Amino acid sequence: MNPVLKNRLIGLAIAVLVFAADQAFKGYILHGLKLQLGQSHYLLPIFNYTLTHNYGVSLGMFTAASEAQRWALVGFTSLIAVVVTVWMLREKKLADIAALALILGGALGNIKDRYDLGYVVDFLDLHFGEWRPFLVFNVADAAITIGVLIILARSLLIREKAPEKPAETAVES
């Protein structure tokens, strides 16, 4: 199998796995633990499941206060998912494809929530006493964040070597 095709198939598999894991965890929170909005389930001294509904996008920004805004967010995030998919299918290196796959899988998980429920189910609550370094988030959000950080790190830290030009031969006179 062509190595580039193999990398792209691995990327698609990563996106599907992220989407499936996100939806499975959300199902567990809603139907297994049956948490109610605002209710917490203790896991570790620094980590709980706390059910919240996110009507906005990243960090709760651009809250959809109406049905029209909800569907605008579904459309906008779906457009972003299409762009990420095209970008992923144009890449050749597995690290770039995997990072984009994390973003795609996460985006699809959050799009499905917003489409089905009108909001995104968030439940991962990292805290140190009363201090929370993050808002409550979900598996999709974590995957998106990790994917973006990988892309940023690779674009800032990894430089492609320019192809070497053949040495010019000096003309003797």
Distance CA 173, CA 152 (A): 52
Residues whose CB falls within 8 Å of the CB of residue 106, separated by 6 or more in sequence, listed in order: 18, 19, 22, 139, 140, 141, 142, 143, 144, 147
CA max distance for the chain? 88
Summarised one tens digit per residue, pLDDT across range 101-155 is 999 999 999 999 999 999 999 999 999 988 888 889 999 999 999 999 999 999 8
21-40 mean pLDDT: 96
Domain membership of residue 114 (yes or no) is yes
pTM summary value:
0.86
Q: What total number of domains does the chain contain?
A: 1
Distance CA 35, CA 130 (A): 21
In the chain the first and final C-alpha atoms are separated, in Å, by: 54
Summarised one tens digit per residue, pLDDT across range 9-29 is 999 999 999 999 999 999 999
pLDDT at 135: 86
pLDDT at 163: 64
Domain membership of residue 118 (yes or no) is yes
Domain membership of residue 164 (yes or no) is no
Domain membership of residue 166 (yes or no) is no
Domain that holds residue 94: 3-157
- Catalytic (active-site) positions: 122, 141
Domain membership of residue 173 (yes or no) is no
Domain membership of residue 54 (yes or no) is yes
